[in-house]
Amino acid sequence: MIINPKYAGLLMGLIISLGMSFVMSFVMVSMNVGFTANFLNKWMHASAAGFLIGFPASAVFVPIARKYMFKFTGVVT
């Protein structure tokens, strides 16, 4: 399946926010709760919550970060 290139930024934010929420929730749950009997359930719940916050945040912050990155590096778009 090929996705229209105009959605590349949105897809990038989706992939990054999925990965980051998955890894960060694992670390935070393991630090705060430990590896208990219901660890997997707590981890998946935290990961889903992190994604629900992370994806919209990435949709806002990625374009801003990109704008400043181009500004600071002198790259012209």
Q: Which pLDDT tens digit goes with each residue over 21-30?
A: 999 999 999 9
- The position carrying tokens 């997997």 is 40
Residue 77 has pLDDT above 70, yes or no: no
**Residue 64, helix vs strand vs coil:** helix
Dist CA 19 CA 7 (whole Å): 18
pLDDT at 58: 86
Q: Which pLDDT tens digit goes with each residue over 33-68?
A: 999 999 999 999 999 999 999 899 888 888 898 889
Dist CA 17 CA 49 (whole Å): 11
Q: Is the pTM of this model over 0.85?
A: no
pLDDT at 28: 95
* Residue 39: burial class (beta carbons within 10 Å; 0-12, 13-18, 19+): middle
